[in-house]
């Protein structure tokens, strides 16, 4: 079964009803019922992904629902449905092609090297000038010419493969970037975040200006998955990621560490201000909600936050340990609250 089929589970009657509503909405918005608009408006009306539907609704409410505005949303949706980030088969063929060329040249060079070494021994054993010249002309020079020819051939092949090699580099760069990105939310994953933390530590020690680490956990996430389903759960995680992105700026960085746990780095900040930012994030998320299809009550979220300040000279593990203990205290003492390392 295709990914799109798994995404849309309405029966025939329900889907026809949704389609009629989509057509009516395209007329209302004065946009063509082409695949782009039809798909996006189908998503809005069906509420398949509440967070994604909310983005479309926001564009409509702000009178910004245009071809240019919705194109990124459509591309993001296709990526999400198809789960197609990197053409790994094509990359494999590119690698194989280049390696075959190099292997052939390497084997040929090894054979010629042996021939030259044997010819040099032959040359050393020659007792007359004529014998030496004959050895040189018959054995050494042809081998050298063949090596030169093979090298030129390889150079031509690699030159012809220059575009392939450039494309391979681009694909590998994209693969590296994807390896550091959480595919569900589009923000850095733990691997990407570890690199950011290392950079912040280096900056903090050099400038003698500390930073804060906030560890956040979406409260009762398992209940969301159990009650609304994993698709809505995924939507909730994307919603939280988007909310965190709005609440941070500048050199600050956010990440999804895994599951329902997120992290934020607040750069060049003091403890009291870090606590104020954490509380602002917590209260803003608690004040918002998502509408979920077939549910009268909106889906509301709360988060627990642990805050720790970087201490000059320490490693990342020690910083994470203190922030994690603060987060555990926030969850153990009732959730939907912010705790700091000073409360441990």
DSSP string, 278-300: HHHHHHHHHT-EE--TT-SSPEE
Distance CA 188, CA 177 (A): 9
Q: What are phi and psi of 63, to 5 degrees?
A: 55, 35
pLDDT at position 328 is 96
Q: Compute the distance between CA of residue 343 and CA of residue 164 in angstroms, rounded to an integer.
A: 57
Residue 133: CB atoms within 10 A of its CB come to 12
Instruction: Let me know if 13 is exposed, middle or buried by CB neighbors in 10 A (0-12, 13-18, 19+).
Output: exposed
Nearest to 305 by CA among 240, 219, 224: 219
**Separation of alpha carbons 344 and 223, rounded Å:** 28
List residues with catalytic annotation.
260
**CA dihedral sign, ordered 70, 72, 76, 81:** positive
195: left (phi over 0), alpha (psi -120 to 50) or beta: alpha
pTM flag (> 0.85): no
H or E element in which residue 307 lies: strand 303-309
Beta-carbon contacts of 252 under 8 Å, excluding residues fewer than 6 positions away, are: 264, 265, 266, 267
pLDDT tens-place values along the chain, 344 residues long: 444 545 676 678 888 888 889 999 999 999 988 888 888 999 999 888 888 898 999 999 999 999 888 988 887 887 666 544 445 555 566 667 666 766 676 677 667 667 777 777 777 787 788 877 887 787 777 877 777 777 677 667 666 666 666 776 676 666 666 678 888 888 998 888 999 999 999 999 999 999 999 999 999 999 988 888 888 899 999 999 999 998 888 889 999 998 899 999 999 999 999 999 999 999 999 998 888 887 888 889 999 999 999 999 999 999 999 999 999 999 999 999 999 999 87
Question: What pLDDT, on the 0 to 100 scale, is given for residue 1?
Answer: 44
Question: 172-211 b/e with 16+ CB inside 10 Å = b?
Answer: eeeeeeeebbbeebebbbeebbbebbeebbeebeeeeebb
Count of C-beta atoms within a 10 Å radius of residue 216: 28
**pLDDT recorded at residue 86:** 46
Domain 190-343 has CATH 3.90.1150.10: no
The whole-angstrom separation of Cα 245 and Cα 249 is: 7
Q: Rounded to an integer, what distance in angstroms lies between the CA atom of residue 117 and that of residue 240?
A: 69
Which helix (H) or strand (E) is 80 found in, with range?
A: helix 67-82
The ranges assigned to domains in the chain are 3-82, 88-167, 190-343
What pLDDT is recorded for position 85? 44
């Amino acid at each position: 079964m295709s990914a799109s089929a798994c995404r849309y589970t309405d029966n025939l009657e329900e889907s026809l009803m949704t389609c009629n509503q989509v057509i009516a909405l395209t007329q209302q918005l004065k946009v063509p019922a082409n695949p782009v608009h039809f798909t996006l408006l189908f998503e809005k009306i069906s509420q398949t992904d509440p967070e994604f539907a909310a983005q479309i609704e926001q564009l409509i409410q702000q009178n910004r629902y245009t071809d240019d505005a919705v194109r990124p949303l459509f591309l993001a949706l296709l990526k999400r449905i198809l789960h197609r980030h990197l053409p790994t088969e094509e990359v494999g063929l590119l690698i194989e092609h280049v390696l075959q060329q190099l292997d052939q040249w390497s084997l040929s060079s090894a054979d010629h090297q042996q021939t030259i070494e044997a010819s040099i021994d032959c040359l050393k054993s020659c007792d007359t000038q004529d014998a030496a010249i004959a050895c040189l002309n018959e054995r050494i020079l042809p081998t050298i010419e063949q090596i030169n020819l093979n090298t030129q051939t390889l150079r031509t092949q690699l030159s012809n493969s220059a575009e392939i090699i450039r494309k391979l580099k681009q694909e590998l760069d994209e693969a590296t970037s994807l390896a550091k990105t959480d595919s569900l939310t589009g923000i850095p994953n733990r691997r990407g975040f570890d690199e950011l933390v290392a950079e912040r530590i280096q900056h903090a020690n050099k400038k003698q200006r500390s930073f804060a680490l906030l560890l956040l956990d979406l409260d009762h996430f398992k209940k969301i998955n159990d009650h609304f389903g994993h698709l809505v759960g995924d939507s909730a995680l994307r919603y939280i990621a988007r909310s965190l992105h709005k609440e941070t700026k500048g050199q600050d960085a956010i990440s999804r560490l895994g599951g329902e746990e997120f992290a934020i780095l607040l750069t060049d900040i003091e403890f009291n201000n870090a606590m104020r930012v954490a509380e602002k994030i917590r209260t803003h998320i608690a004040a918002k909600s998502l509408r979920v299809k077939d549910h009268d009550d909106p889906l509301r979220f709360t988060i627990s936050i642990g805050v720790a300040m970087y201490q000059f000279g320490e490693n990342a593990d020690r910083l994470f340990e203190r922030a994690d203990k603060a987060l555990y205290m926030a969850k153990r003492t009732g959730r939907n609250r912010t705790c700091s390392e000073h409360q441990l």
